[in-house]
Every structure is written in structure tokens, then in C-alpha cells.
Amino acid sequence: MPLHTQVDESSQDEELNVNPVYVQEVSWEIPRYRLPEHSTLPRTALQIVRDELILDGNARLNLATFVTTWMEPEAELLMAECSAKNMIDKDEYPQTAELERRCVNILSNLWNAPPGSEATGCSTTGSSEGCMLGGMALLWRWRARRQAAGLDATKPNLVMGSNVQVCWEKFCRYWQVEPRYVPMVPGRLHLRGAEAAAKCDENTIGVVAILGSTMDGSYEPVLEISQALDRLQAEQGHDVPVHVDGASGGFVAPFLQPDLEWDFRVPRVASINASGHKYGLVYPGVGWVMWRTPDALPEDLIFRVNYLGGEMPTFALNFSRPGAQVAAQYFNFVRLGHQGYRRVHQTCQDVALHLSGEIAKIGPFELLTEGKDLPVFAFKLRDDVTSYSVFDLSERLRMRGWQVPAYTFPADLTDTAVMRIVVRNGFSMDLANLLLSDMRLHVRFLEHHPQTQPPPEIQQMRQSFKH
């Protein structure tokens, strides 16, 4: 054994370096909106924050969101292990970059990219960023075409249904593109081919087709829209590409409607986005966007980052981002495979169809969709039911924690108020039946207790549901 000797006098008072977060201070006063002067014990801080959050709704009973609210414990563990990895540090975390590459390849297959087309894509924070990148590629390509032909390139427009998600309105405002909305009308609640083509001209950078309208879960007919644009090109010469916003459907159609032609099988589809965190079954924070060929993605939108002594092309709006969601997406692909995704989504669809069928039988409701496309459906009160509204029912369902949103449709159909139910993994048939019995009960209550109009400020709050 080695012998040790007492250190000399001058070293006796040397101190250990203690990580500042190990210091345990006790503090009773925590200002609500300013940074506290002192630290708090970690357990105390945890309890304080948890206490604040108990008023949040129960995520599993949230039938409003499309976003994943349950993952397996193994996925949660993996995400915790990867949450410190920065997606942008390709050099430091080359295997996370490799998992992203595999996911892009898996998706290019699921979305039927033609063999050898070199379909190119990346992960994003969600579909909003995917849509923004898809829209930018359309804009850049249109501008380059116009400039090369010596034509005016200052008045771009984008054609879409008024049922688009707000991210497209954002895209148009941020990039000064004129949004050309095709309004919803009774009996046509999403974009169709003829209406889309009629809005296009030489300044149209593209048409957005939504695979799974946020409003009612219905698929827009990508093939029909595309064929209408083929005719437009033959007649007027405008070659208008299609971007498919497959936020939800991009992860549903390949499993539930494999024969539906909505993806790169349709030649006019230039790009597709989808949310990994919706029916890709990952917790919030991941989306995907893919272009049919490398030239659908203009070179001057691409930035190169250091990667293993070389350069890796990137296209993103933000820089740092956790790697956890991408690892979790790959986990799901490995864990579920084609069969597993199909089983999960089929179960959701069975529940959605059961729910919509039973809701139709209650009496006062009219279904707008049934859940045959996405496992999502919308319904309204029959026109002759005037003594209460879907907002009243939505509020009463809250009493047991059910979150079923009620909202009005966009411009031209703002008089139509609907409820929408999004069935996700984890919303079982048992839960569906419990919801049904509560709905029957509340409908009976409302029929016997006609509701009065609440004051305007409450009405305003009721309609402020955002998709």
C-alpha cells in the first residue's frame, strides 16, 4: 500500500470545487415573473412546477390534438438518453445523423419515390417547418424560372383550400406570397381539382393539397387536383407543381389506404411533408419533408455544415434541435414495422368509425365525416336544434375531463359550428364507449335545459380554439 503524508500548511485550507448546482439553498420566496435571487432545492423546484401543471388537461383525454400523447416506456427512456444530443452537431453525433438518414429513406419508400429519383428530405421540428421549407422551394423555383425567362417575378401566389392549417397563411405572410384560397361551401369541405385549377395562373408557385384536412379529417383528392393541373398545363401552358401537406395522412395512408395515389406516384407531386409527432407516433418535436428529386430543392436554399471532416447539406429554419425525437422516430419504425403501424392505425380507425356511427344514432347530430380517411371526424347539430350549441356540449364534456373541441369553419362557412374528434393511439374502444355514454347523458340534459347565449367575451373565448 502506498504511504501518504500530510500536506503542508499552505495547502491545508484548499477547497474542493463544487458544482454550483449541488449547493442546496433554502428559499421561501419565489417571484412569479422575475428570476429568484436564490436557488431552490431541486426536489422543491420539481414540486412547485408540478403543482402548477396539475391544472393542465389530461393529455390522454385530449381528443382535440393530432399530436402523440402516449409512447412506450422504452421510447421514453431512449428520448431521455438522447435529449442532450444536438441534432445539428453532425460531427459529434454521427449515428444520430445516420438514424435521420435511415428515416428519410424509409419515408421515401413509404411515399413511393421512384427508384433512382434521389428523393431528398430531412427532419424538421414539425409539419409547420416542413410546410415552410416546401413552400420556400416552390417559391425559389418559380422565381428562378420567371427570372430566367425575363418575366416579372414579383407577384407569386399559392393556391389552396380555405381549410389549410394556419402554417400556410404564415408562409404566405412571411414570404409575401398572395394566398389564393378556394372557399369551403356546404357539401364541399375541402379542395377539389376544378376549383384549384381555376385559381391558378402564370404566377402560381404551387397548389397545396392536404392529406387529412385539419377541419374534418378528410383527404383532398391529390390525383384529381393533379390531373386538373395537367389539363391546365395542356390548355394554358402553366406548369404548376403540387405540394402535399400530409401532416397527418403522410403516416396514415401508406398503412390504411395503400392503393390511394396521393404521393410520388403522382408525377406532379413535387414535395410532401408529414408530422412524425402525429400519426408517426412520436412525442412533439419532429416532422419530415421530402422532395421528389434533388432539383425540386433549389441549391441556394441549402447550407453546408461540417460533417466528419466533410460537408453535409442542410435545409432548416432553426439551428439547434434535440436528437431525441429523431431517435424515437427510428425506434418506432424498428419497433412497429409496417404491420405494427397498420395495426395501430387500424385500431384507431375502428374506434373512430364506431364513435361516429354511434354519435349519428344519438339523434341531434349530423356527421360531416365518419373517420374513413384519417381516424378523425367532425359533426354538427342538425339545423333544427337551436336550444343549445356544440359549444355548450363541449363545455359539459369537460366536466369529466373529455376535451372535444367545438369551433366554427373558416370564411364563407363561419355559420357552421362543429365538433371534431381525433382518435389517436391509446384511445381505446372502452374509453370511446365511456365518452358515448357521457355524450348521451349531456345531450339529454341540454335538451331539458335550453341554454342562453353567454356574454360576448365568453362567446369569443369559446371560438378561440386553434388547430
Ligand X SMILES: Cc1ncc(COP(=O)(O)O)c(C=O)c1O
Binding site for ligand X (CB under 6 A): 66, 126-128, 131, 165, 167, 210, 214, 245, 247-248, 275, 287, 467
Residue 190 is which amino acid? H
Nearer to ligand X, 127 or 204 (CB): 127
State how far the Cα of 253 lies from the Cα of 217, in Å rounded to an integer. Answer: 12
Distance CA 453, CA 387 (A): 10
End-to-end Cα separation, the chain, in angstroms: 70
**Least Cβ distance, residue 146 to ligand X (angstroms):** 27
Question: What is the nearest approach in angstroms of ligand X to the Cβ of residue 373?
Answer: 12
In angstroms, give the least distance from the CB of 376 to ligand X: 9
Minimum distance of ligand X from residue 246's CB (angstroms): 8
Shortest distance in whole angstroms from residue 399 CB to ligand X: 26
C-beta separation of 33 from 41 below 8 A: no
The enclosing H or E element of 307 equals strand 303-307
* Residue 127 or 226 with smaller CB distance to ligand X: 127
Separation between Cα atoms, residue 228 and residue 234, nearest integer Å: 10
The cell numbers describing 426, all together, are: 391509446
By C-alpha distance, which of 205, 156, 172, 215 is closest to 369? 215
DSSP structure string for 431-443? HHHHHHHHHHHHH
Q: By C-beta, is 61 or 210 nearer to ligand X?
A: 210
Neighbouring CB atoms inside 10 A of 20's CB total: 7
* Residue whose C-beta lies closest to ligand X: 126
Indicate the residue among 67 and 413 with the shorter CB distance to ligand X.
67
Cβ nearer to ligand X, comparing 66 with 377: 66
Nearer Cβ to ligand X (131/413): 131
- 107 DSSP 8-state letter: H
Find the shortest distance in angstroms from Cβ 287 to ligand X: 5
Q: Which is nearer to ligand X, 211 or 381 (CB)?
A: 211
Looking at the chain, the number of H-run helices and the number of E-run strands are 12, 13
Residue 357, Cα to own-chain centre: how many angstroms? 26
Q: Which residue has the cell 381555376?
A: 198
- What is the closest distance, in whole angstroms, from the C-beta atom of residue 220 to ligand X in the complex? 10
Q: How far is CA 126 from CA 95, 122, 131, 253, 456, in A?
A: 21, 11, 9, 18, 35
The conformation of residue 284, written as its DSSP 8-state character, comes to S
Least Å from the CB of residue 160 to ligand X: 10
Nearer to ligand X, 100 or 245 (CB): 245
- Where do we find the cell 356544440? 390
